[in-house]
Amino acid sequence: MTAMDIAAPLAQPRPDPAMSLYCLLDPEVLANPYPLYRRLREKDPVFWDPFLCAWVVTDYANVQTVLHRFSADRTPTPAQLNSLGLDALEPIARVMIQQMLFMDAPAHTRLRSLCSRAFTPTRAERLREHIQDVANRLLDRVVPAGRMDVLADFAAPLPAIVTAELLGVPAADHEQLKAWSADYAEVLGNFQHNPDRAGRVLSSVEGMTAYFRSAIREQERRPRDGLLGSLLAAEIEGARLTEDEVIANVIVTMVGGQETTTNLIGNGLLTLLRNAEQMARLRDDPSIAPSAVEELLRYESPSQHTARLAPADVVLGGKQIRRRDPVMAVMAAANRDPARFANPDDLDLTRKDNRHLAFGWAAHFCFGAPLARLEGEIAFTTLLRRLPEIALEPNPLVWRENLGLRGLEALHISFRSQGAAGAEVR
Ligand code: HEM
């Protein structure tokens, strides 16, 4: 035995709680997480967070690598939940393990190709007129009042109605779909476990499953256009999705399609209001809307981070990561990396070379990105065209306690009031 072997282990530096991603639970940090992300990126872009028991990755190059190379197959199996004494959550896990978001190739490739057949960019584009119509109808209701809560009156119902149409279920059910989706987003967006909310999430999963099962029975009697019917019929080389796979992936599409798009509109409008010159630019020239949407996605990403597991023992950013170690890829931090984006904290609606990671990267790149982009363009241009002199109301801004899916509880604005047909009434 050498002297080295018996020497006391080197003192480990004390973990710094101010570097933990758990700081997002502090409302002040949640209101502006970007200084925390900057600190992480500058001090330790591949950081072992001892409080979260996960690696936290914040620079663009390494986030891209994690999204490209690491395993998405991270849902605890029913057996693992059992061993943790969490068997009550089993029905949620049973749905999640069948969702493409939580799979690796080849299972992911098979599922995604079947779903892609059913949801093409052309299908999204066909919804353009309909989205414009829904946006106008929602604004017709509030325009005379001269004030609105952008979230409740516009940003929440718009994607909920569009998603119902996309799926091929009655648009009249959009409030119920929205409520379920908000509950399920608790599972998708949060890494903290909140036992008080588990019961509600559970009953929502059961509610959604029963709803889509009966919608499938209805489609068998009376087929209608939409993703649900297309998924039931999709076939590659004789392979079809099972009914449970269809339901699980309709649920992830419905939730993915609503929560994030709502937050793109809410976060985006707030960002424009905080950057009056840029907002005037978009109002004066709506043709820049596509690039404005990309910049708003980069600047205030609705999906801030996602999780992966290390596929093997690997070195990332000089750190040794062990196989199956959990890794948080913080896209919102990567999107503000000065090594990738010039002046990343400035909003520039005509930014060039804006390959942000707000829709993820590689195999799991957002399935609904064409639709989200379209909804974003229509939402911002319609709000700016129809609401003159928009201003923030003095109510305090409250961010939802969902650490992954960043969004506001409410966004109260006022504007110059007009008659329903657009005639000024003041
Ligand atoms: C602004 C709006 C949106 C944002 C920011 C967003 C963001 C994302 C991100 C970051 C991922 C990848 C997650 C990961 O790699 O772990 C993703 C995947 C996904 N998104 Fe979206 N999304 C949006 C809108 C939509 C819409 C409108 C739909 C459906 C209509 C949708 C459906 C999906 C689905 C099904 C996946 C899983 C894809 C896969 O695993 O292959 N999303 N989204």
DSSP structural state of residue 159: H
Q: Please count the structural domains in the chain.
A: 1
Give the model's pLDDT for residue 237.
75
The answer to whether position 8 is within a domain reads no
What average pLDDT does range 293-313 have in this prediction?
97
Give the model's pLDDT for residue 194.
66
> What's the mean per-residue pLDDT of the chain?
90
Residues within 6 Å of ligand 1 by CB? 67, 100-101, 112, 252-253, 256-257, 260-261, 264, 302-303, 306, 358-360, 364, 366-368, 371-372
Is the pLDDT assigned to residue 3 strictly greater than 70?
no
Q: What is the DSSP string of 309-354?
A: E-SSSEEETTEEE-TT-EEEE-HHHHTT-TTTSSSTTS--TT-SS-
Give the model's pLDDT for residue 116.
80
The answer to whether position 143 is within a domain reads yes
Ligand 1 atom closest to 361 (CA): 15
Rounded to the nearest whole angstrom, what is the distance from the C-alpha of residue 329 to the centroid of ligand 1?
15
Give the model's pLDDT for residue 424.
38
DSSP structural state of residue 405: B
Rounded to the nearest whole angstrom, what is the distance from the C-alpha of residue 254 to the centroid of ligand 1?
10
* CB atoms inside a 10 Å sphere around CB 425: 11
pTM: 0.93
Is the pLDDT assigned to residue 6 strictly greater than 50?
no
CATH code for position 313: 1.10.630.10
Ligand 1 atom closest to 308 (CA): 16
Q: How far apart are CA 40 and CA 59, in angstroms?
A: 9
426/264: higher pLDDT: 264
Give the model's pLDDT for residue 96.
87
Residue whose CB lies within 8 A of the most ligand 1 atoms, among 119, 305, 366, for a mutation test: 366
221/14: higher pLDDT: 221
Give the model's pLDDT for residue 313.
98
The answer to whether position 272 is within a domain reads yes
Is the pLDDT assigned to residue 302 strictly greater than 80?
yes
Q: How far apart are CA 419 and CA 401, in angstroms?
A: 37
Task: With cut-offs at 50, 70 and 90, classify the pLDDT of residue 269.
Answer: very high
What average pLDDT does range 209-233 have in this prediction?
91
Give the model's pLDDT for residue 191.
62
What average pLDDT does range 246-272 have in this prediction?
94
Rounded to the nearest whole angstrom, what is the distance from the C-alpha of residue 175 to the centroid of ligand 1?
21
Is the pLDDT assigned to residue 9 strictly greater than 80?
no
Answer positive or negative: Cα dihedral of 13, 16, 19, 22.
positive
Give the model's pLDDT for residue 78.
76
The answer to whether position 68 is within a domain reads yes
Answer positive or negative: Cα dihedral of 414, 295, 267, 396.
negative
Task: With cut-offs at 50, 70 and 90, classify the pLDDT of residue 406.
Answer: very high
Residue 103, class by beta-carbon neighbours within 10 Å (0-12 exposed, 13-18 middle, 19+ buried)?
A: buried
Give the model's pLDDT for residue 423.
41
Rounded to the nearest whole angstrom, what is the distance from the C-alpha of residue 256 to the centroid of ligand 1?
5
Give the model's pLDDT for residue 11.
55
The answer to whether position 1 is within a domain reads no
The answer to whether position 400 is within a domain reads yes
Residue with tokens 């299908």: 123
DSSP structural state of residue 178: H
Give the model's pLDDT for residue 401.
87
Task: With cut-offs at 50, 70 and 90, classify the pLDDT of residue 81.
Answer: confident
Is the pLDDT assigned to residue 44 strictly greater than 90?
yes
Which residue, by CA, sits nearest to atom 40 of ligand 1? Answer: 101
Percentage of the chain beyond pLDDT 70 is: 93
Please give the single-letter amino acid code of residue 59.
Answer: D
Using the CB atoms, write b or e for 215-252: b if 16+ within 10 Å: bbeebeeeeeebbbbbbbebeeeeeebeeebbbbbbbb
The answer to whether position 170 is within a domain reads yes
Rounded to the nearest whole angstrom, what is the distance from the C-alpha of residue 146 to the centroid of ligand 1?
34
Q: How far apart are CA 256 and CA 302, in angstroms?
A: 11
Q: How far apart are CA 131 and CA 197, in angstroms?
A: 33
What is the residue range of 149's domain? 23-414
Which residue, by CA, sits nearest to atom 24 of ligand 1? Answer: 257
Ligand 1 atom closest to 331 (CA): 10
The answer to whether position 307 is within a domain reads yes
Q: Could you tell me the two tokens for 226? A: 């939409």
Rounded to the nearest whole angstrom, what is the distance from the C-alpha of residue 163 to the centroid of ligand 1?
13
Residue with tokens 């929440």: 156
Give 282-290 contacts, CB < 8 A, sequence gap 24+.
282/349, 282/380, 282/381, 282/384, 283/384, 283/385, 286/381, 286/384, 286/385, 288/349, 288/350, 289/376, 289/377, 289/380, 289/381, 290/373, 290/377
